[in-house]
Amino acid sequence: MFTRGDYITRKILLPFFLSVLLFLIISSFLNYLSRPRGTVIASWDRSLPFYQKVEKPSRTFLQASFELPEHLLSSTEEIAMVFQKVIGNQLKVYLNGELIHVVGSESGNIWPSPIIVRLPKNILSNQNSIRLELFAVMNYGISYLPYVTTLSEAQKISWLQGMFRNDLNLFAMGIATIIAYIMFFIFGITNIPQRKEYLYLGFSSLFTIIGLFQFVFRETSGSVFLYMLFEKVNIAIPALSATFIYLSINERYGKKIRKIFLNVLLCIPIIILWIIILPFENSVINVLSDVSNLYSLFLVGLTTWHVFRYKVIELVFPILFLLMTAIQSTTVLLSRLPDELLLPYGRIIFLVFVSMEAVRHFKNLSKRKDYLERENYIDQLTGAYNRKIIEKLDKNDGILVLLDLDGFKRMNDVYGHKKGDEILKRFSTLVMNNIRSDDYFIRLGGDEFCIITKSSDIKNQISRLYNIAKNEINLGFSYGIVDLSEYNDFDKAYMKADEELYKHKWSKKDQPY
């Protein structure tokens, strides 16, 4: 038997330390790759590294001088200058007054990949001057000091940097595409409760794909207009992706979100997107970008809180890793630091983990449903469980809620059994769509149902079910709630719940149905 301390260690502390360890490993490895491997060019006419947002499309010029070591000057190998991370749309490099390299365009996206510039030996000398012309529509900067080394050494380390910064995002986009397809497919073929979980995960994956596009190197985006459109859309994408992550977790493990709160969650990033797309100056767009980043971080933090609140142990590791990468990336973006952005790693690891868990849960539910149908535990009219399932459950644990539709007999007599059957089916569908997938909704007979659940918020859940039933089928219900753990006998618990139900029904006897 494990003690409570053992449980916390195995279920909480271990995933926490693993997420911290993975974060430190990735961060340390990327920092290791960013170390200069040659002669550093440090004497620039402005301080490096630097990062600057611009009010309108602008060019900036940087100049430096450097002395080429004799072993490089006399080497038979080609010599190259390495820019590990240049933020902007286009970079032009001049060596000793001659243009030797151009990368990107007025609509390019050059920062995700390191830039290798071959230095022609017929232009090089012991003392050299380097001049950079950097064009940017939104922002520009140089994150690390450039250095000079042999071409072979430059290509080797730049290949690794490009793989972990640019190519990994292409791989992540492919993974997210597969996840989105699987989630939308499951949503389309299933009618289980909480099926919206798969829809939300599909949309989160879709927005992750769009968001990662901005982390991929592009020589051109087609035009400055298209580049600005990509930039503006991607400002709101993290908020949309985080919103659907939160909704998917809450749909599966939490109570249903009120419609007004759901609309607010969806409207905030859409409003940000709508405002950004309008022809505002860059200063307004930059402010909205910071707001969107902070709101996304808030949603990731809220999702983390729900994971711990609902004790979703299987998601502790990925959500903590996502939270750490979100905090790191938001800090880098808001403080204009030159560090690498780790959020793409957090996004894809979280999506992979949560999608694998969603698929596993779907398979288990499908197996359980097939088994129960084979064993005749499903009520054919409503799709709810029938009372035979009670024999298979732990009748000494959880909460028992008896439900009895108000005025159903009168409505059945007036409108007929066909209408009555339609009401029973609609009511059952309504309940099954608004309880947890681990809860049991059982038709005991006629218009009498029960819910067996381990929810800690059952009264609010039943109250919300009542309001939904009144609004959607214009029919309420009476109920009685008992804690099964207080009784050693299910029949006694049932009798007590039945008493509570009829007290509730009697209190409404003068109300019109």
Q: Within this chain, do residues 499 and 388 fall inside the same structural domain, yes or no?
A: yes
Are 494 and 393 spatial neighbours (Cβ–Cβ below 8 Å)?
A: no
Q: What is the CATH number of the domain that holds 43?
A: 2.60.120.260
Q: Within this chain, do residues 140 and 198 fall inside the same structural domain, yes or no?
A: no
Instruction: Answer yes or no: is 6 within a domain.
Output: no
Q: Within this chain, do residues 79 and 175 fall inside the same structural domain, yes or no?
A: no
Q: Within this chain, do residues 172 and 301 fall inside the same structural domain, yes or no?
A: yes
Q: Within this chain, do residues 436 and 287 fall inside the same structural domain, yes or no?
A: no
Instruction: Answer yes or no: is 21 within a domain.
Output: no
| Domain final residue, candidates 134, 157, 180 | 157
Cα distance between residue 101 and residue 63, in whole Å: 15
Q: What is the CATH number of the domain that holds 385?
A: 3.30.70.270
pTM, 2 dp: 0.71
| Domain final residue, candidates 157, 188, 218 | 157
Instruction: Answer yes or no: is 470 within a domain.
Output: yes
Instruction: Answer yes or no: is 242 within a domain.
Output: yes
Instruction: Answer yes or no: is 293 within a domain.
Output: yes
Q: Within this chain, do residues 484 and 407 fall inside the same structural domain, yes or no?
A: yes
Domain count, the chain: 3
Q: Within this chain, do residues 276 and 383 fall inside the same structural domain, yes or no?
A: no
Q: Within this chain, do residues 360 and 391 fall inside the same structural domain, yes or no?
A: no
| Domain final residue, candidates 157, 192, 210 | 157
Q: Within this chain, do residues 169 and 153 fall inside the same structural domain, yes or no?
A: no
Instruction: Answer yes or no: is 9 within a domain.
Output: no
Q: Within this chain, do residues 493 and 349 fall inside the same structural domain, yes or no?
A: no
Q: Within this chain, do residues 52 and 146 fall inside the same structural domain, yes or no?
A: yes
Instruction: Answer yes or no: is 220 within a domain.
Output: yes
CA-closest candidate to residue 12, choices 242, 251, 4, 324: 4
Q: Cα–Cα–Cα angle for 345, 350, 352, nearest 5°?
A: 100
Instruction: Determine the structural domain holding residue 230 and report its residue range.
Output: 165-367
Are 128 and 68 spatial neighbours (Cβ–Cβ below 8 Å)?
A: yes
Instruction: Answer yes or no: is 23 within a domain.
Output: no
pLDDT tens for the chain, 513 residues: list them.
444 445 455 677 888 899 999 999 999 998 888 888 889 998 899 888 888 888 888 999 999 999 988 888 888 889 999 999 999 999 999 999 999 999 999 998 888 889 999 999 889 888 999 999 999 998 888 989 999 999 999 998 888 888 888 888 888 889 989 999 999 998 888 776 678 888 999 999 998 888 888 888 888 888 888 888 888 888 888 888 888 888 888 887 766 666 777 777 778 877 877 777 777 777 778 888 888 888 889 999 998 998 888 778 888 999 999 999 999 988 988 887 777 888 889 988 988 888 888 888 888 877 777 776 666 788 888 889 998 888 888 777 789 999 999 888 888 888 888 888 999 999 999 998 888 877 899 999 888 999 999 887 788 889 889 988 888 888 889 999 998 888 878 888 999 999 999 888 888 765 544
Q: Within this chain, do residues 145 and 219 fall inside the same structural domain, yes or no?
A: no
Cα distance between residue 166 and residue 159, in whole Å: 10
CB atoms within 10 A of CB 87: 22
